Amino acid sequence: MAHIEPLARDAVPEFRQRFEHYASTRGFVPNSILTMSRRPAIARAFMDLNKAVLYEGTVGEELKMLVSLIASQAAGCRYCQAHMANLSSIYKAADAKIRAVWEFETSPLFSAAERAALRLAYHAALVPNAATAADFAALKAHFDDGQIVEIVATVALFGYLNRWNDSMATDLEAHPASVATRAIGAVGWAAGKHAGS
């Protein structure tokens, strides 16, 4: 059960358009953002950063979603794992690829460029951080400096979200829970403390 309940969608009218966008693209409005909305300046800053990091630039959204998924798996945040399985699916990652993301080093479903990005995401999400010069050398074989900034920004964004949702025990919404059960459930995924009650 969440430590702080999310607000109702209509409690912050200034976010009506953004909440409608989330509902139409994801199928729901995230409880994490509804909870952040108790302090609108924090929610607004987060939504702006989320948009700039995940939906702008030249790194494809599918890869950014998979980077977010691996970072969330490394951090252990079940809420974010479910959300990123959902968004990976929305951005055209097949269930087989989502399910195999933890085996990115050996699965034939991933390219060398994807492996480099996912390896950095995994190492950078660990505590303590395990990213190395070798990780960046591997990235530079496939991505320019601006794209590397996008990849690291994606991992860093989820450092915030993983801490937020695990600390708040944010209740997981039904839609991403269903996608995660379908897409990554075969490898032992469960909502954990985010199951609500």
Number of domains in the chain: 1
* Whole-prediction pTM: 0.93
Q: What is the per-residue pLDDT across 44-60, written as a single tens digit (0 to 9) for each?
A: 999 999 999 999 999 99
pLDDT over threshold 70, residue 195: no
Within-domain flag for 126:
yes
Taking the CA atoms of 48, 53, 56 and 60 in sequence, report the sign of the dihedral they define.
negative
Whether 66 is in a domain gets the answer yes
The pLDDT score that the predictor gives to residue 189 is: 54
Q: Is the pLDDT of residue 193 over 70?
A: no
Quick one: the chain helix, strand, coil %, rounded to 5? Answer: 70, 0, 30
Residue 85: inside a domain = yes
List the domain range (segments joined by +) for residue 91: 60-188
Q: Is residue 177 part of a domain?
A: yes
Answer whether residue 73 is part of any domain: yes
Residue 130 falls inside a structural domain? yes
CATH number of the domain at 118, please. Answer: 1.20.1290.10
Q: Do residues 125 and 144 touch, judged by C-beta distance below 8 A?
A: no
